[in-house]
Amino acid sequence: MPEITNVGTNIAEKSTVIWNVADMLRGPFKPHEYGLVILPMTVIKRFHDCLLPTHEKVLEQYEKVKTLEVVDGFLRKASGYQFYNISKFTFEKLLADPDNIETNFADYLNGFSENVKDVLAKFEFDNIIKRMVESNTLYLVIKEFASQKGYLGPDKISAVDCGYIFEDLVRRFNESYGEEAGAHFTSRDIIYLMTDILLCDTKFDGDAITVYDMAMGTSQMLSCMEERIHALDSETEVTCFGQEFNPSTFAIAKADMMIRGGDPNNMRFGDTLSDDKFKGYTFDRIISNPPFGIDWKREQKAVEAEAAMGENGRFAPGLPKISDGQQLFVLNGLSKLKPDGKMAIIQNGSPLFSGDAGSGPSNIRQYILENDWLETIVQLSTDQFMNTGISTYIWVLNKNKSEERAGKVQLIDASHCYEPRRKSIGTKRNDITDLCRSLMVKAYGEFDNGIYGEKDGIYCESKIFDSVEFGYNKIVVERPQRDENGEIIKDKKGKPVADANLRDTENIPLTEDIDRYFEREVLPYAPDAWIDKKKTKVGYEIPMTRYFYEYKAPEASEDILVRIIGLENSISESLKNLFHGDE
């Protein structure tokens, strides 16, 4: 894969400059309200700076076609974007008439094309403008954004970098609001790892590629996928689709798509689980970081109704615990993959092993593994995300595995493949550098058992398993009731009556014969036991930690004794100096 370029080292600096507009808002606005001003103003300024070079051309074209019934096509062509503004005002002209700033700013906003107005409506910006007017801050805010340090034109700020500025502003807003700071933020080091895994074996032959993110936030995964595809093949046509539930981040995503020249109608607002905006669609690639550890009570009625539809819905294989809906997003993604489609999705540890045989989570794993769609799971280090320090996993699912991967699953432990950050961002203390990413992508691509990197430093380890190794039969072992004389109690048919207090279960690997296992492992210790075969259930789990566990011998007792004596001597010496130091 090509090296990442144009990463925009000034992202944090630029977003800090923009966020400092909050200095103007102190008093009239509370700290948790600053984002209500800054986020929409940043979007408006990005639109403004993109349109500024063609502004006069658009005004001239508007005068020629304003009497026509349909003018959008002419004005979009004149602006060079999927949007335009026919107001005579620019930020510079707004500042030239401070006495009429409210009226003129309203004229400027009304001059935007309808698709921009739809974006701004999601911010509910009208009421915020009224508050700025009442507090005499509207002019000051516009002046700050109009300064050189507030410039957001595409000649200085790339689409990807501007997207990350938006992400950083959303993070700051959420922090000031007391929300989880990383709810809408996936750092680009993780995104680039996902894109490279999704694309490293892609054969570009001129066909268009569709990409979908079911929980897109501000759409940075989509924009990074488009960037990486074009880095590999500049001629490939990439079409991005996304759905988002948060109004502000959706507005930013739609604005970003418009500025990048894509179809803004492909960015859709709504809850993916209960209000699927892409029914009947399928995609070549899916990349997503949906919420995990969050309940789906709000969507429960709609999800259960769709599950009852069986194969006509997305959730037929099973439903996870109500407290954690992340596996529902996996099922949604699988329902939208083309027959040769591939998905990378981030999850926490719960989908690996939660739920017993026959439960919803286990049935979902069974559905994935028995269809042979699970290609790879990559375990990342802790402290990779800014809102959680727990271990996270990238699941790679492929509906068209290569011949060598058929019936196999690759597990990659990359928990040691990171470099510490000089300065943490929330709980994000570790980064996936270019070296780390290259090791993981190499491990994925070579599909072999082995260690990549230096075992005592930065490295990852790959192991290959047969899919069937993750399955097991859960059997119910019964023991008979006995009377006071120790005799087995039997029913009318002469069969032993089971004693519920002696009932037990055993998990037998699918690779083993149940009866032989029972004869070897159970009957020698309980000769009167039997299997209630009507209660046997198939389960699947992926105990990743167990597969990569390394035994470390405990410290020798002699060494421990030496350390204890040393500590005792040190403490004694300290106490002596404390109480007798002046003698």
CB 291 within 8 A of CB 347: no
Domain assignment of residue 2, yes or no: no
> 502 and 456, same structural domain?
no
> 461 and 363, same structural domain?
yes
- CATH code of the domain covering residue 214: 3.40.50.150
Query: Which of the listed residues 451, 469, 487 is the one where a domain comes to its end?
Result: 469
Q: What is the pLDDT of residue 564?
A: 87
Section 27-54 average pLDDT: 93
Of how many residues is the chain composed?
A: 583
Domain assignment of residue 293, yes or no: yes
Token reading at 579: 């109480």
Domain assignment of residue 277, yes or no: yes
> 247 and 167, same structural domain?
no
Q: What is the pLDDT of residue 559?
A: 77
Query: Which of the listed residues 408, 437, 469 is the one where a domain comes to its end?
Result: 469
Mind listing the pLDDT tens digit for each residue in 101-140? 999 999 999 999 999 999 999 999 999 999 999 999 999 9
Q: Is the pLDDT of residue 363 over 60?
A: yes
Query: Which of the listed residues 469, 484, 515 is the one where a domain comes to its end?
Result: 469
Q: What is the pLDDT of residue 182?
A: 40
> 351 and 312, same structural domain?
yes
pTM (two decimals): 0.87
Q: What is the pLDDT of residue 178?
A: 52
**Virtual CA dihedral for 381, 384, 387, 391, nearest 10 degrees?**
-20
Domain assignment of residue 550, yes or no: no
> 314 and 251, same structural domain?
yes
Q: Is the pLDDT of residue 293 over 70?
A: yes
Mind listing the pLDDT tens digit for each residue in 219-271? 989 999 999 999 999 999 999 999 999 998 899 999 989 988 888 899 999 99
Mind listing the pLDDT tens digit for each residue in 153-176? 999 888 878 887 887 788 777 766
Q: 323 vs 107, 282, 304, 361, CA distance in Å?
A: 48, 28, 14, 12
* 428 or 125, greater pLDDT: 125
Terminal CA-CA length for the chain: 71
Structural domains of the chain, count:
4
Portion of the chain with pLDDT greater than 70, in percent: 95
Q: What is the pLDDT of residue 208?
A: 94
Q: Is the pLDDT of residue 29 over 80?
A: yes
Domain assignment of residue 209, yes or no: yes
Q: What is the pLDDT of residue 9?
A: 44
Domain assignment of residue 251, yes or no: yes
Section 317-321 average pLDDT: 96
> 171 and 123, same structural domain?
yes
Q: What is the pLDDT of residue 583?
A: 55
The residue to which tokens 């432990």 are assigned = 413
> 434 and 487, same structural domain?
no
Q: What is the pLDDT of residue 1?
A: 43
* 18 or 450, greater pLDDT: 450
> Alpha-carbon distance 247 to 253, whole Å?
10
How many CB atoms sit inside 10 A of residue 501's CB?
A: 7
Section 184-206 average pLDDT: 88
> 482 and 392, same structural domain?
no
Contacts 24+ apart (CB under 8 A), 489-494: none
User: Residue 467 — pLDDT band, cuts 50, 70, 90?
Assistant: very high
Q: 525 vs 479, 505, 519, 521, 536, CA distance in Å?
A: 12, 14, 10, 8, 21
The range of the structural domain enclosing residue 336 comes to 180-469
- CATH code of the domain covering residue 62: 1.20.1260
Q: Is the pLDDT of residue 412 over 50?
A: yes
> 277 and 196, same structural domain?
yes
> 465 and 480, same structural domain?
no
> 229 and 102, same structural domain?
no
Domain assignment of residue 402, yes or no: yes
Q: What is the pLDDT of residue 10?
A: 62
Domain assignment of residue 6, yes or no: no
Q: Is the pLDDT of residue 4 over 50?
A: no
> 478 and 504, same structural domain?
yes
